[in-house]
Structure 1
Amino acid sequence: MPTPSPAHAALAAAFAEAFGHAPEGVWRAPGRVNLIGEHTDYNDGLVLPFALPLGVSVAASRRDDGLVEVRSLQADGTVTAPLSGAPGDVKGWAAYPVGMARVLRERGVGGATLLIDSDLPQGAGLSSSAALECATAIALCDLHGVEVPAAELARLAQRAENEHVGVPSGIMDQSASMLSTAGSALLLDCRTGLTSNVPFAPQDAGLTLMVIDTRASHELTGGEYAQRRAECEKAAEILGVPALRDVKDLPGALARLDDPVLRRRVQHIVTENHRVEATVGLLRAGAVAEIGGLLLASHMSLRDQYEVSWTEANVAVDEAVRAGARGGRMVGGGFGGSVIVLTHTERADRVRDAIDAAYAARSWTPPVFLTETAPSQGARRIA
């Protein structure tokens, strides 16, 4: 049994205080940053995320009454719902753990009482929702003695989000949270589910990957994310391919699309898959610094072709590059959240100061620079 950290010991104590008995364990799943490969996941493409040290922890115990009871240290109130309930009858943050429990009911998982804690910044686009789903999933499986392979748990977590929350997300976030290993990024083929570890240790090359919460709130249950997915599906139908991942001749494909919006969407997906492959090649060759240009090209494509970036992200990336960073880009679904910046470590303070100054000049809420960004381990039991 792992030795709990003080934070997780405190979570166990809070569980005992809230529910009158000790939890049977504490489980944790990380948030993620996607190094490159944005919006390619639901197009059957390639992605390259890695797990953060930050994440969601769940203290839990079994119940035998067919109910799931959830409480969060970051929210008021307790939500209790039957495992037999229908999608949509639980709203807000509680829909994620309740939905996960309902999906796992088909695998023999029963009721549970859960207390949730998170050190991921909310609305930062670092996949706190997938971390919550995955931490809940491994807790429930352990509690009820149900064995499900990690890759399959990621698929079930995606299904929970699609069906019970109403977000048509791809498989990337849950896979990164479940399958990542420390010191590596996770190359995931979203069609086949095949994964491989790609060494990613920028600090060994004298580099720092900065993760910056732009403080523009990120929310995927709005219509923009679903609209982008629908546009991709429409373009694939017109082009006669199963998914945009299958577009091999980009100029020929663009010529067959009359709608300029669909042309832009296709251009981003096809070129983004190429950028993932190029990034993997550079990382495996030890040329970490050289991926900066690919990060910047990804950002410009997301800004101009996919049209999901936002003003604060554009300013942060522009100012970072002007201050000497190797490159950077928005991460996540878009319309708010975080950016990543790759810089030589000796320039990190200068880059940070430039971004802070640009925010101050515009009277924006100051950005938050995450200090814990090294590629971390995936979901696991911690106490």
Structure 2
Amino acid sequence: QLDIVRKNVVEISGRDAREVRVVACPYRICPLGAHIDHQGGIVTAMTINYGVLLGFVPSDDAEVVLQSGQFKGITRFRVDDLQKPIENRGNITWESYARGAVYALQNSGYDLRKGIIGYISGVNGLDSSGLSSSAAVGIAYLLALENVNDLVLSPVDNIQLDKSIENRYLGLENGILDPSAILLSRYGYLTFMDCKVCNITYPSRVGIICESSSAKRLHVLFYVRQALKMHQYSVKLIQVYMRPKSVY
């Protein structure tokens, strides 16, 4: 897939393949607490080895030119154009996340002078599957724009910027779960977040067992090797039901 992304960037931009830069943003799973992060709840998460690839080169000016591996068309706009929040959620499209990234950076006071020419691709069938593909896309655009504009931001800064894309630009009620999982997860560890005080810890190494069945939903078992204390309970085995297309 990486070679395909590079090839498409070369075709769109006319640049040499050696100039192509790539951002990789993983999808995430959430064993406990999904959709309560924006209420200050306690959640757990970890990233998986599937995600979004954004290949790009700096544009010669402020123009952004993007093509998607999953959606038709080419989008064009400029980073020096003022981006306004989307008022109707029905108008959200795949290009909205790129515009939202520009909006978030603009409204945080960052000076954007260069755009990107890029090709973004996720895993076919996993968009809108509950694996936080939208946050992965938003973060990929943020990191690419920061790279070509010589901006150095911390993971915590980018968590807040992605939250700005979702909350302020798109009008969605998302918390810090998705961007925090993507930017702060550690290999082999469960990420434990207290969203009320924004505290993140890594209390346990985790093994994953995926059980395939003919049922409509797959059973995904998360075995926590060390006892994880949560709400005064010792959690040793967590059973989560996910859509078949969410697990590979």
Distance in 2 between residues matched to 1:191 and 1:368, nearest whole Å: 32
Partner of 2:15: 21
Partner of 1:88: 86
Partner of 2:227: 282
Q: Let me know the Cα RMSD of the aligned residues.
A: 2.8
Structure 2: which amino acid aligns with 1:33? I
Query: For residues 200-279 of structure 1, what are the structure 2 equivalents within 5 Å?
Result: 200-202=205-207, 208-209=209-210
Instruction: Pick closer, same or farther for the CA change 1:130–1:144 going to 2, 3 Å.
Output: same
| Bigger share in helix | 1
Distance in 2 between residues matched to 1:369 and 1:26, nearest whole Å: 24
Structure 1: which amino acid aligns with 2:92? K
**Pairing partner for 1:183 from 175, 180, 188:** 188
Partner of 1:195: 200
Partner of 1:157: 162
SS at match of 1:21: coil
Q: Percent identity?
A: 23
| Bigger share in strand | 2
Preserved CA contact (<8 Å) 1:68 1:82: yes
Query: For residues 1-383 of structure 1, what are the structure 2 equivalents within 5 Å?
Result: 7-22=1-16, 23-83=19-79, 84-88=82-86, 91-105=92-106, 106-110=109-113, 111-119=115-123, 121-202=126-207, 208-209=209-210, 282-283=227-228, 291-292=236-237, 295=238, 327-329=239-241, 338=242, 367-368=244-245, 370-371=247-248
Q: Across the two proteins, how many residue pairs are aligned to each other?
A: 226
Deviation at 1:280, TM superposition (A): 10
Please tell me whether Structure 1 or Structure 2 has the larger radius of gyration of its CA atoms: 1
Structure 2: which amino acid aligns with 1:114? G
TM-score, scaled to structure 2: 0.80
SS at match of 1:186: strand
Instruction: Pick closer, same or farther for the CA change 1:113–1:124 going to 2, 3 Å.
Output: same
Distance in 2 between residues matched to 1:281 and 1:49, nearest whole Å: 16
Preserved CA contact (<8 Å) 1:210 1:369: no
Instruction: Pick closer, same or farther for the CA change 1:108–1:280 going to 2, 3 Å.
Output: farther
SS at match of 1:88: coil
Deviation at 1:201, TM superposition (A): 2.6
Preserved CA contact (<8 Å) 1:34 1:50: yes
Q: Which gives a bigger RCO, structure 1 or 2 (Cα 8 Å, sep 6+)?
A: 1
Distance in 2 between residues matched to 1:167 and 1:210, nearest whole Å: 33
Deviation at 1:43, TM superposition (A): 1.0
